[in-house]
Structure 1
Amino acid sequence: MQKKLTKAVVTRTVLALAFGALASGAALAQQVNAKFAVTLQESSHQGQGVAKFVELVNAKSQGRIKIKPFYNAALGNDVQVTSALQGGTIEFTVPQTTTLTGMVKEFEVLDYPFLFDTEKEAEAVLDGAIGRQLLDRLPEKGLVGLGYWENGFFNFTNSKHPVAKLEDFNGLKLRAVQAKISQESVKALGANPVPLAVPELYTALETRTVDGQGTTSAVTSALKLDEVQKYLSLTRHAYGAFIPLVSKKFWDRLPEADRKLLADAALEARVYQRTVAREQDKSSVKKMADKGLKVNDVAAGERARMRDAVKPLWASFAQEGGSKAVFDATQGELAKLRN
């Protein structure tokens, strides 16, 4: 009798362990479906970065984690989509860091004009301790940052004359975004800022409501702004970074293994995306030049004069926005790289 009871207990225990293992395996193998909101078209460097990320996640999870990208702002603009991530109705997006300055003021440091000279400098700041410090501020806002991708250096175009020296900005009416740092930067250079949304820009340039604008050459080409501009000056006056974001509500539901998988895929996609961004920048400049846009470089000495003109804004905005610690750390990192 005792042997029969013992055998029954052992049998139940084995079955329980087996069902437990199956349940655990099912949980680990749970199918995950998510939406990825993308502002630009799939062919853009942003879009190609997202496509690579989706491909990597699919391969790493063996098809268990399926992410569907929605390109061309199909789910809304950056502000709307970022808010949707906080609410948990969309899982992924990849806005420019400027979008986050309203909730984490320290991100504004990355928008300071003429802060970076090269992509290498930007990478050292973004991929190091300073970039991580900024990412660490996002979970309290309902977001998780997976690193930094590249939008690239911004250059000015205009319909009046080449910008080769600081004085060439005098009197130009240049499009500025709503951010105060953008408008004050244009003023500091000697031009007049005209706040405009992207959908209004082509017509404003065509009708000469504004003389020029400043964004990456790839975006200038994609928006066909070269059709209504005469000059492209390689001022490299600002560096734009994208930041792949995840909804924290979605993130918190994932097992640790899946979180690591997504983080690893974002970093792998970053290498590819940055390469594409730099290739598109060069090819866009050549394409627009071949179509008749007059392109001029800006000498290092003149870029230094332009930087000196806007430098007072750096300290002023850092103090005003409570970003002094991040700003000082960034300056320290750049000083090390340049010495």
Structure 2
Amino acid sequence: MKMKGKLAIFLVFALAFGFAFYGGDGVQAAEYNIRAGIGFDDQSASYAGLQKFKDMVEDKSEGRIEVEIHPGAALGDDIEMMENLQRGVQEVTVPSTAPITGFVEDFAIFDLPFLIPNYETADYILDGVIGQELLEQLEDVGIIGVTYWENGFRQLTNNERPVESVEDMEGLSIRTMENEIHLDAFEEMGASPSPMAFGELFSALEAGVVDGQENAFATINFQHFYEVQQYVTDTGHIYNPLVFMISEEFYNELPSDLQDVVIKSAEEAGIYQRELKRNMHEAAKEDLQDRDDTEVTVLTEEAREGFREAVEPVYENYEEQIGEEFIERVQNRIEEWQDIQDI
């Protein structure tokens, strides 16, 4: 065989092998693929956190793992994506704790109003014994709970009057999530809760179908609720953690070195996401305070205590569902942290 013919055959085999090993763009083909889906859009802190996760995983795995990010509920709502993880047809999602209660009921602890008073307490609970115990319970439903990300504190807005005390809540119709604990909490505050789809909320506020709503500062600002809501109150009545979770089926397929890469990347990205989310909330709060057409009320400690007293029956109503002993454990840990802070 002539030399040119041999070279041609060699090049054919070399190119074929190269494309099989690296893919068409000269990059080594990934051995594993992670489809990471979230309900939040691509402007959210959660999306930015997943981008950080993607960069770290692909770098630390040296291309052996590829991460695809699917925002805006493209793979389903939070419950559907958790079910995808159970079936092994999706690898990662980062839902709020509210839908997780359908899989692990103890996560309902975070729906109790005025439980978590500030970020420092949230970190102490989530990153401590209580938070880890909750994550471990997810293994019973075929999911690996890795770490906590954040959606943050929910705040109140309305278009009727400033809310400076729980008495000012009387008679206000407030859009809430479709969540029994949240509904009960607002009823105990004297309001009339009205659950509805988030996509219908702005038009409902504009038309006066409801007087107000409750969401995080960043959401209030980003969704332009200030255009139809004059009064904002820094209630912080609910703290919403997010949980970074992985399909147990997928996780078990990974070699131990790549398991370590995924876990550490999720934890590092979580630190970044939580800090980013908090900065976004503070910036949004400042923007609202600077607006001439918006009045922001920060509750006094006395007023906040009035809200806490008003919702005490909610804790009693859900002792059986969540567990009286578990609620007391969490409350004791919170008091323990506050005592540490007072030293």
Q: Equivalent residue for 1:201?
A: 201
| 2:78 alignment counterpart | 78
Determine whether 1:47 maps to 2:47: yes
Match of 2:300 in 1: 299
* Structure 2 CA distance for aligned equivalents of residues 309 and 111 of structure 1: 16
CA distance in 2, matches of 1:298, 1:121: 19
Q: CA deviation at 1:268?
A: 0.7
Q: Name 2:110's counterpart in structure 1.
A: 110
Which deviations, in whole Å up to 9, do the C-alpha atoms of 1:243-281 show, x marking residues without a partner?
A: 111111111211222222111111111111111011100
- Partner deviation per Cα, 1:126-153 (whole Å, 9 max, x = no partner): 1111011111111121211111011111
Question: Counterpart of 1:132?
Answer: 132
Aligned partner letter, 2:188: A
The aligned counterpart of 2:121 is 121
Q: Is structure 2 residue 260 aligned with structure 1 residue 260?
A: yes
1:281 alignment partner in structure 2: 281
Q: Number of residue pairs matched?
A: 310
Distance across 2 between alignment mates of 1:216 and 1:281 = 7
Q: Is the 8 A contact 2:30 2:66 kept in 1?
A: no
The answer to whether the Cα contact below 8 Å between 1:42 and 1:51 also exists between their aligned partners in 2 is no
Q: State the secondary structure of the residue aligned to 1:321.
A: helix
Secondary structure of the residue that 1:147 maps to in structure 2? strand
Note if contact 2:109-2:322 (Cα within 8 Å) is conserved in structure 1. Answer: no
| Paired position in structure 2 for 1:33 | 33
| Worse-matched range after superposition: 128-137 or 308-317 | 308-317
Distance 1:206 1:271 in 2: 37
Superimposed CA distance per residue, residues 132-179 of structure 1 (whole angstroms, 9 cap, x where no aligned partner): 111111112121111101111110001111111111100000112111
CA distance in 1, matches of 2:57, 2:49: 12
> What residue is the counterpart of 1:212 in the other structure?
212
* Distance in 1 between residues matched to 2:33 and 2:337, nearest whole Å: 42
For 1:92, the aligned partner's letter is V
Q: Distance in 2 between matches of 1:122 and 1:276?
A: 16
More displaced 10-residue stretch of structure 1: 186-195 or 280-289: 280-289
How much has 1:36 moved relative to structure 2?
Answer: 0.5
Alignment of 1:155-174 (within 5 A): 155-174=155-174
SS of 2:114's partner is: coil
Under a length normalisation based on structure 2, what TM-score does the superposition of the two structures give? Answer: 0.87
Moved more, 101-110 or 41-50: 41-50
Counterpart for residue 247 of structure 1: 247
Instruction: Report if the CA contact (8 A) 2:157-2:214 is conserved.
Output: yes
Structure 1 counterpart SS, 2:113: coil
Question: Following TM superposition, by how much is the alpha carbon of 1:43 offset from its aligned partner in structure 2, in angstroms?
Answer: 2.3
- TM-score, with length taken from structure 1: 0.88
Letter in 1 for 2:97: T
Aligned to 1:310: 311
TM-aligned CA deviation for residue 335 of structure 1: 1.2
The answer for the alignment partner of 2:69 in structure 1 is 69
- CA distance in structure 1 between the partners assigned to 2:179 and 2:207 by the alignment: 24
Counterpart-to-counterpart distance in 2, 1:324 and 1:256: 39
Conserved? CA contact 2:186–2:192, under 8 Å: yes
Report the counterpart of residue 325 of structure 1 in structure 2: 325
The separation in 2 between residues aligned to 1:324 and 1:103, in whole angstroms, is 19
Q: Please tell me the root mean square deviation across aligned C-alpha atoms, in Å.
A: 1.5
Task: Among all aligned residue pairs of Structure 1 and Structure 2, give the percentage whose two residues are the same amino acid.
Answer: 33
2:56 is equivalent to residue 56 of structure 1: yes
Match of 1:229 in 2: 229
Tell me how far 1:30 sits from its aligned partner: 6.8
Q: Secondary structure at the match of 1:73?
A: coil
| Letter paired with 2:192 | N
Give me the whole-angstrom Cα distance separating, in 2, the residues matched to 1:211 and 1:50: 35
Structure 1 unaligned residues grouped into runs of 5+: 1-28
Cα drift, residue 290 of structure 1: 3.7
- 1:158–1:229: 8 Å Cα contact kept in structure 2? yes
Shift of 1:32: 1.0
Query: In 1, are the aligned partners of 2:36 and 2:91 still within 8 Å (CA)?
Result: yes
The 3-state SS of whatever aligns with 1:160 is: coil
